[in-house]
Amino acid sequence: MAGTTSYDTDQPASGDSSAAAAGYDPNYVPDSVKSFVVHMYRHIREKNVYEIFQMYETSFQSISDRLFKDSPWPSVDAVATYVDNDHVFCLLYREMWFRHLFARLSPTLKQRIDSWENYCSLFQVVLHGVVNMQLPNQWLWDMVDEFVYQFQSFCQYRAKMKNKTEQEIALLRQPDQAWNVYGVLNYLQALLEKSTIIQILEQEKEGLEQFTATDGYDYNGGSNVLKVLGYFSMIGLLRVHCLLGDYQTGLKCLRPIDITQQGVYTSVIGSHITTIYHYGFANLMMRRYVEAIREFNKILLYIFKTKQYHQKSPQYEQILKKNEQMYALLAVSLSLCPQVKLVEETVNSQLREKYGEKMLRMQRYDDEAFALYDELFSYACPKFITPSSPSYEEPLVNYNQDAYRLQLKLFLYEVKQQQLLSGVRTFLKVYSTISLGKLATYMEVDEPTLRTVLMTYKHKTHAVDSDGKITSNADLDFYISDDMIHVTESKPAKRYGDYFLRQIVKLEGIMTDIDRIKLE
Amino acid sequence: MSYTVEQLVAVNPYNPDILPDLENYVNEQVSSQTYSLNANLCLLRLYQFEPERMSTQIVARILIKALMAMPAPDFSLCLFLIPERVQMEEQFKTLIVLSHYLETARFRQFWDEAAKSRHILEVVPGFEQAIQAYAVHVLSLTYQKVPRSVLAEAINIEGLSLDKFLEHHVANSGWVTEKTQNKGQLIILPSTEFNHPELKKNTADGIPLEHITRILPILG
């Protein structure tokens, strides 16, 4: 494919503040860029993953910071001569070129479409199995991540219909439009299927194949690109389905990855966080609070312990932002399902510091509490999208908030259905038995209403999965016999088994040490 | 047809061409009293991608089937995919109110409302029985012994029909009826770990075999 970048002829979109075009010559290639592409090209041909990674992660950033803070990198045509006009390298270069542009400048519609076409060409090459490269997981993850991000960004952009120019609308109306939702999903699905990653993960369980053990790399001269892209596509699909509000399907896409274990998804911090953030969010929306709390807790603890190592990473800001959002989601989950014992001490103290006071107010279920649920949800939710094109015949209105408003409304609806539960919980906590009549008086409701509240408590705290298995999310439980309520608080189960196992190993270690002393 | 609809969905999760098959499949689920959340979500997804192809009649059927799947959260899962302006239509507003009553266990209000909306619900056979099963599920989570009147209200059956209903469950589901002196009949529901918390197995302290294998060399 010939590079057809044409940013120089594009008009920046209205309201575009970037002064990118001014003084920028796409054909001027500074020496550092020349050296960058020449070395990168060589390392890719030599399959030197370590060096590729260094250049990708460090050199690209430092050159961007020095020379391309607010202008694009040189055009692909200008650098192609330094890399033998290598088709695949040019696709990779453009992928980075667009990613840099999206991160630092405001892309025009034409650029969005060009980037889509570049992804199509790149994925076609990968799908047809003609690549023989070994690329760092970080880069492959970034490709899938950026692909989904640009799709999301395109949907948001398209939905802001009000101040589009006629040219933009004409371009948007073209039949085989870029970033069509079917196209996006089918590319991810194609990578997933063509890579046969699901079968590979299955076979690995039986010891017939190695994937996780080598972090997805191929040490037998093959390429890791299709396999790992297929693997990350599962996470890409999870994210796209969450953006569409299809939580059930999103979680289904992720199922081949066992998130209770380490895996290739944990080898890149961005992929690890994206996976758990969307997994937790989907579970929260499906009312499986315990599952959401457990996974948020684990990843927040992990980020707390490791974030110092990522300070220089280009993803650092993103890590911190998702960290804050997940604390907000944890606060929401715990307010709906007060299972504090699932939360580790460090995470808990961070949580109290950030949201302790808000969480107390959220327990009250008055208007202010609803406003807080609204605030935390809006701050922490994914950027929901409307996947369909607008009707160009009707008057043009912005619809970029529609999807978000629907998800928020349905979530607050759920909160409202649970509003009496925290009150009843407070009373049940201090009794072991109490009559319905007495509790009704305390709660200032009549007896039939109290019965419905108690049944609601049971229904909302007991999740039923597709094979009819019931899981209790309640730490405080009760039953009614005739008109007496009997309360039972589940005691945190002490993990004696683990404790003994560890002590046995420790003792054995000490005994070995002692034996060694005797021998000397 | 050489493929079942479920297979079609598995092979073409993002293919607009299967939309008519999925619509037919919804009608088939209605007439044969079967259910596939997976296929229905796939159809709602295609509607979401191409709103101009949406049939509100089919959407209504999907939502009624989802109500019948209570206590599973299917109704919400479907609503997440249906644009708000569609949800504003009268029939959907009614279904949302019905779902709200079920979610908050307000069975009396539910049955009153359902009676008023018969024209929407009666196209789907088995609706009442499915909701009754849900009511029995919630009652079984909550009660060891439930007064007859509370049961009657929840399942909307009274008098002789209720006697018959009880007889059936005494014979098939392990229910026991008990006469009390002053308050009428009590129904003893089968024990589960949810209405008899002492039955809850303490699974938390199980040790997976892999962990044991780690210390086997030491023990040997």
Q: What is the DSSP letter of B173?
A: S
SS3 A300: helix
CB contact A402 to B (< 8 Å): yes
* Antiparallel, parallel or unpaired: β A484-489 and B176-180: unpaired
Distance linking the first and last C-alpha atoms of chain A = 72
Predicted local distance difference test score (pLDDT) of residue A5? 38
Torsion of CA A87, A88, A92, A93, to 10 degrees: -30
Mean pLDDT calculated for residue range B77-102: 95
Q: What is the pLDDT of residues B126-171, one digit of tens each?
A: 999 999 999 999 999 999 889 988 999 999 999 899 999 999 999 8
CB contact A282 to B (< 8 Å): no
> Of B38, B40, B45, which to mutate for an interface test with A (greatest number of A Cβ within 10 Å)?
B45
CA distance B121 to B94: 10
> Of B88, B143, B151, B203, which to mutate for an interface test with A (greatest number of A Cβ within 10 Å)?
B143
Mean pLDDT calculated for residue range B164-183: 85
H or E element that contains A487: strand A484-489
Farthest-apart Cα atoms in chain B, separation: 73
CA distance B50 to A391: 11
CB contact A23 to B (< 8 Å): no
Residue A75 near residue A27, CB atoms below 8 Å:
yes
Residue A398 near residue A160, CB atoms below 8 Å:
yes
CB contact B184 to A (< 8 Å): no
CA distance A72 to A84: 22
Lowest mean pLDDT among A124-138, A496-510, B8-22, B27-41: A496-510
Q: How far is CA A474 from the centre of its chain?
A: 27
Average pLDDT over chain A reads 86
Number of CB atoms found within 10 A of residue B144's CB? 20
Percent of chain A with pLDDT over 90: 44
Mean pLDDT calculated for residue range B38-56: 93
Residue in B closest to A498 by C-alpha: B207
Percent of chain B with pLDDT over 70: 92
Predicted local distance difference test score (pLDDT) of residue B80? 96
User: pLDDT band for position A495 (50/70/90)?
Assistant: low
Lowest mean pLDDT among A148-162, A290-304, A404-418, B179-193: B179-193
Q: Which of B84, B205, B215 sits opposite A493 (nearest CB)?
A: B205
User: pLDDT band for position A9 (50/70/90)?
Assistant: very low
Residues of chain A with Cβ-Cβ distance to B16 below 8 Å are 182
Q: What is the pLDDT of residues A392-421, one digit of tens each?
A: 777 778 888 889 999 999 999 999 998 888
Residue in B closest to A465 by C-alpha: B72
CA distance A49 to A44: 7
Mean pLDDT calculated for residue range A87-106: 93
Q: What is the pLDDT of residues A219-229, one digit of tens each?
A: 777 888 899 99
ipTM for the assembly: 0.89
Residue B34 pLDDT greater than 80, yes or no: yes
Predicted local distance difference test score (pLDDT) of residue A3? 38
Predicted local distance difference test score (pLDDT) of residue A520? 55
Q: Do B105 and A452 touch (CB under 8 A)?
A: yes
CA distance B87 to B93: 6
Q: What is the pLDDT of residues B194-208, one digit of tens each?
A: 887 776 655 555 677
Residues of chain A with Cβ-Cβ distance to B50 below 8 Å are 388
Residue A436 near residue A485, CB atoms below 8 Å:
yes
Q: Which of A454, A472, A482 sits opposite B142 (nearest CB)?
A: A454
How near does any CA of chain B get to the CA of A432, in Å? 13
